[in-house]
Structure 1
């Protein structure tokens, strides 16, 4: 079939997606997973108050959501002690990234990121005709010095992407390091600081909301337990935030999702409880790894990277054996991080299932 209707750029793009979802894998294997521990979701679930709010909002689902997200935006502004014009709400961080790249990147422009970092950013950059410039990780952390230098050396660099805490390794830089780096952002470059895991990180930087060359990305998909609701938001200077209105889908948000996010934000005691459960789960995963003479990387997120102790090929075997045993996990894609598997935190029954499957896997691969 002819694809002449596609743009030249679209014709050249690879027919690929950043992730293969667990549902697709379940269909391929002909069975559901026993434990879903690969997508960094919160298996502890959302606040009961958020569930109740979404149930009520479902009765109003015949109405479009408020395109200004007025109530949630003002609640977030109060929470962060900023004005509402510092905040843009969107369909998760992924949706916000798509709009940001659309606003800033055209053919011939570059974006700088870490090799092996969160792939959706790359997906959008390439999809809008941009070119990626990458630097390797250093000691399983994104190398800020190398990223900044790459941006200076690369012509027409518009964006730098830094995830802190990091996905897929779970590592993080201190607030002091991030604050110092922000003072040295290369001229003409906007730093995309992805803080999806901010709620599980105890050393967040203090950044003036009026800083014009930084946009921070936050989400309700992780510790708040609302991945399926698709609610994220950006924090930046008003002139950066206002630009989103030129391209965003004004009716892209769901009334149900926004109601859930608002109730979740207002239930900080439940968030605190969830973070404590995440900490307990991280400790449990570390114990399981140690039982097989393996170590975990220090995690500032709601998942743990287990160093499988060998090379990528062995880590793939571990992951596939776990998948065969009904445990959905993922792994980093680029060496040397690809020697690890990534396991999301979860409640006790999920950890029990993971422990049993991991023990059988390591026994088989010994």
Structure 2
């Protein structure tokens, strides 16, 4: 018997969305990927890095990425850390702030990977359920745990808390409030101003959704410099390779292309949501690049399986809080028209 740590041996592990080998045969709307390619400038930047330079280590601090993000978001580079996907930042925040046996909390439903990361660290996990108005049930006047993760916009549901609520939460959390803004580029507001004003607020972002770079594994965090300094101590010293660093700088620099893609996804999302409502589906107003919707009979699994038979992939969650619906990523207009036609056929 291998001497595994008890918590590792007993934990289930996170299960990501299904990735078919022959993905070209499917309409793939199950993992919130961007349906449009990255900026052409990203491809140019990656190709420019291919060659002799790959035998050398990359810049350990990812300085160019931090500087470009600083220009884009209005922060000094000391407030920013680049990461191998935002998941790396989430993991390192737990490692930096939470000792074994201490508590991490998050909203349920939201990103269940928080629980996996906490279990790896040997931390306790606490969840706060949502009521029908999206308020947190039984949240204390003062939350004394070390980290509280707030996914905003929420995934998989898509709703977005106003910044007044986020600021109130920051004032009620004794430890660190991590605002996971994986989908914030599709929303109308974000928490970056709160980071400037409140030292216990950290914002995390990903390049997987709005920048079409899920395959590059890129993310970042924005926080007060002492938080960033701590995260820099514990990250892998070469956490971003040369190609990833070139891609993230080029992606952020091409804001015109970025806005075009985001606007197309928003427009398609709003059109698709309206069409689902015509079919008498219940659709949560979404601020992400997806919608969470429930068919009239509230049998999400039935619809998921029927779409799968038609080679349309969406995300079904067996959790009792979510099994009445499905999460549908927003693809191209053509993909969503085909999906809508399939839903009409399925009934």
TM class, shorter-chain normalised? over 0.9
Distance 1:102 1:181 in 2: 22
Q: Is the 8 A contact 2:141 2:172 kept in 1?
A: no
Residue 226 of structure 1 deviates from its aligned partner by: 0.8
Distance 2:262 2:288 in 1: 10
Q: Is the 8 A contact 1:211 1:236 kept in 2?
A: no
Query: 1:315-345: per-residue Cα shift (whole Å, max 9, x none)?
Result: 0111121112111110345333332211111
User: Does residue 46 in structure 1 map to residue 38 in structure 2?
Assistant: yes
Residue 148 of structure 1 deviates from its aligned partner by: 5.2
Query: 1:72-101: per-residue Cα shift (whole Å, max 9, x none)?
Result: 111111222211111111111111111111
1:234-313 residue pairs with structure 2 within 5 A? 234-311=221-298
| Residue 230 of structure 1: aligned partner | 217
Structure 1 segments, 4+ long, off by >6 Å, are: none
Residue 33 of structure 1 deviates from its aligned partner by: 4.2
| Residue 333 of structure 2: aligned partner | 348
| Residue 14 of structure 2: aligned partner | 17
| Residue 2 of structure 2: aligned partner | 3
| Residue 206 of structure 2: aligned partner | 219
2:74 to 69, 76, 81: 81
Q: Which runs of 5+ in 1 are unaligned?
A: none
Residue 53 of structure 1 deviates from its aligned partner by: 1.3
* 3-state SS of paired residue (2:301): helix
Distance 2:305 2:25 in 1: 13
Residue 10 of structure 1 deviates from its aligned partner by: 2.0
* 3-state SS of paired residue (2:291): strand
Query: 1:34-63: per-residue Cα shift (whole Å, max 9, x none)?
Result: 211111110112111112212222334333
Q: Is the 8 A contact 2:159 2:284 kept in 1?
A: yes
Residue 302 of structure 1 deviates from its aligned partner by: 0.7
User: Does residue 55 in structure 1 map to residue 47 in structure 2?
Assistant: yes
Residue 32 of structure 1 deviates from its aligned partner by: 5.2
User: Does residue 202 in structure 1 map to residue 199 in structure 2?
Assistant: no
| Residues 285 and 69 of structure 1: CA distance in aligned 2, closer, same or farther (over 3 Å) | same
User: Does residue 334 in structure 1 map to residue 319 in structure 2?
Assistant: yes
Distance 2:16 2:90 in 1: 16
Distance 1:208 1:290 in 2: 37
Distance 1:236 1:333 in 2: 35
Distance 1:140 1:346 in 2: 28
Report the TM-score when normalising by structure 1: 0.88
